[in-house]
Amino acid sequence: MTQKLQKVLAQLGIGSRREMERWIETGRVNVNHVTAKLGDRVDDHALIEVDGKPITTGLRAAPSSQTVLLYHKPIGELCTRHDPEGRPTVFDHLPVPPSGRWIVIGRLDYNTSGLLLFTNDGELANRLMHPSHHLMRTYMVRVYGHVPDEMLDDLENGVELEDGMARFEQVEQVSGDGRNGWYKVEVAMGKNRIVRRLWESQDVKVNRLIRVGFGNITLPDDLKPGEYLILNSEKIKQLE
């Protein structure tokens, strides 16, 4: 069975289908050592190269069933498939997907724990990560430093960072007093390390960061770090 080339590339999570069409049109994709054209179809035996680099045959199978996995990421794992230094990664403890490969939806840094989503559907992953989707991320943050009400107002109204304006959609204190406190924050943008950088812009140190929500999906209280669960179809619809 053959499929459109741009669909196969999108299912791998390389980019959106429209983006893959642009890559094909600009000559970045080869099929069987020939520059691909928009409209080309491929089967499982085709040799596909992107920017001169072959795509491993075993990763090209399109998912036969859409699967989304929720993982409770511990501190000390990287969101990468392979680490040159041999450090643990979030992929080390995941089950084998029913087809295709796991694609991480958004990332968490090494020192951040909490809710992390994976899917074997590249198009779904690209759609959920696209800025136009505006999926809310919810975090619990423990900070060290003086946090007056004026600072919270600034964080909600917007702060100028090195890569532009950023803000929390909502921030509220949950517990603590003095110079240590837990805050619940919501952010819609997916900029790198956005939660830490917003707090650090106010000379406040983040000493614990946990993602507890992604869109309408929340981290179950009974799911321990390093454990995972498969979302049912109803939960997947809540994401879309």
Please give the domain boundaries of the chain with CATH numbers for all domains.
3-59 (3.10.290.10), 68-132+219-239 (3.30.2350.10), 136-214 (3.30.2350.10)
Nearest-angstrom CA–CA distance, 78 and 18: 29
In tens, the pLDDT along 160-205 reads 998 889 999 999 999 877 678 999 999 987 778 899 999 999 999 9
**Model-wide pTM > 0.85:** no
Cα 213 to Cα 84, 189, 192, 210, distances in angstroms: 30, 14, 17, 9
In a 3-state reduction of DSSP, which class is residue 235?
helix
For residues 144 and 179, is the Cβ–Cβ distance under 8 A?
yes
Residues marked active site are found at 109
pLDDT beyond 80 at 53: yes
pLDDT tens, position by position, 62-75: 445 789 999 999 99
| Tally of residues, the chain | 240
Retrieve residue 157's tokens. 């109204």
Residue 71: CB partners within 8 Å, gap ≥ 6? 90, 94, 115, 116, 117, 118, 227, 228
Residues with Cβ within 8 Å of residue 51, at least 6 apart in sequence = 28
Residue 13's pLDDT band, with cuts at 50, 70 and 90, is low
For residue 190, the surrounding DSSP H or E stretch is none
